A and B are shown apart, each in its own frame.
Chain A
Amino acid sequence: MTAGVSIAKVTQRYGTALALDGVSLDIAAGEFVVLLGPSGCGKTTLLNIIGGFAEPSEGRVLIGGRDMTGVAPKNRPTTTVFQDYALFPHMTLAENVAFGLRMRGIGRMAREAKANDMLALVGLGGRGAFRPHELSGGQRQRVALARALAVEPDVLLLDEPLGALDLKLRRAMQDELKDIQRRVGTTFVHVTHDQEEAMAIADRIVVMNGGRIEDEGPPQQVYLRPRTLFSAAFMGEINRIPVKDGVSRLGVLGVPDGCLCIRPEAISERGSLRLGPCRVEETTFFGTYLRARVSPVRAPDLRLVVHLPQRSAPEVGTVLDLGAETHVVLEA
């Protein structure tokens, strides 16, 4: 029902291009891991290697302790939810969901019962006789999920499964995906480039860039205490202030040398790391907060982005005395 995945020093070359560069990662059984990164970072390549659609140039993958080298996709304890869903258009939903069971030689009655259960699990109970083209994008996504889960894989691989959905539906599906994962207990490996989606569903986020793992950890850790500048910037908007020999453009701040990174929402008038007086240049109302661009009086050409409470309404030109509540210093 569920198994861990161990990726050991996996390298993938396409000609001279390096898609994956010595990636190692251990995923625990039942964990919900999200591979996050921009397109071309190697996340989909890694997913394909776990699923058996590509053999790595170097390194190996173990699932449940078993070496998967040379094992075809159909013999792996993994199934995949594809980005375009790849539902078979000439089959009904029930036939789609039962396809894997049929390939395993399971009798018609048992197949149909299981297919109906799986469709019910994803909220499409009783729709087994429909065909894929009769469904909305979100419903197709659910069928793809039911089809992949019907064969009770140890590991479920999801390749940007929510990418084709509109924003509102995507947020709703995230909750549902998380919920289904808890119920079935299967290990989920999910690929996305949407950091909000990653934070919403992941037990652990793995940030990838240029074929390497940049950062990994629970959402809170990756967001608040990123290990690299790339990871910090990819997870959300960030203010960067270079510090050299203990001095920055804002004077002595009492932080080590490097790049001082502060999230816009960590800046307020109360923050303990004092940034000094800043002039409000522009404000925009964003609903849950007021986004302000400010320039420190001590360094007028530096721009900082600050999220102020939604009810505050400072005039442009107002000078606020600001400080940061949390920050990290990263290698520049």
Chain B
Amino acid sequence: MRVLSWVYLAAAYAFVFLPVVVLVAFSFQDGRLPVPPFQGVTLDWYAAVLGDRDLVAALVNSAMVATVSSLVALVLGFLAAHALARVRLPGTMLLRGMLIAPMTVSYLIIALGLLALFNQMGVRLSLWTAGIGHVVINLPLCFAISYAAMGDHQKSAERAARDLGAPEWKVLFLVSAPMLAAPLAAAFFLSVTFSWDEFIIAFLLTRFDVTLPVEIWSMLKSGLSPATNAVGSLVFLVSVTLVVVLEIFVFRRVK
């Protein structure tokens, strides 16, 4: 039984890591195809990728869209959670349900709906329209995390601040937000990673300037290439670095 557990664990890790190992290994392929046999090690593909203007531009676009849309989602989500967690409003349950609802809807549908709306209103597609879509998908996440983090401890600290004469906006920014720094940071960075990696909304709602996943998608259309492996490996490296840094500095404190 005990041995079986470790065998299962090893098999699961092998399955989970198989595609990543293959991806990274063949990004160093000294040949035209990222499949066996392995023909030796080269860094040429990394050089090619980093010298590709379209890719670098897409990367910058992605970073911008992710940062801005996550900030908007965080601010909106935090304010709404703050209000719904303490002020009794009629239909609180309904409001909460509505704010959470986009979480249960496929991104494809959200994207298609926005596309229908923007078409009808004559809005031109751009990074902004994709950003709007990303706020829609990340707002429920930021709201839910902020809402869950607001406990009684939080409420009594806020009451104390009001009692000592702080106006509401000062309570919000000097007491509530700093007390929730860790969960808010967690919500922000989760949103950034979701937005950064999102494909279908960015694909349908951008036109000329595109984000990184969309650019990678167009690379795929020209067939298998170690260049795609190199891009994938780089993105993986950046994400993992971010996750490790967050694990050490942010998430550990959320617990």
Query: Are A and B in contact, CB atoms below 8 Å, in the complex?
Result: no
Q: Which chain A residues have a beta carbon within 8 Å of chain B's beta carbons?
A: none
Q: Which chain B residues have a beta carbon within 8 Å of chain A's beta carbons?
A: none
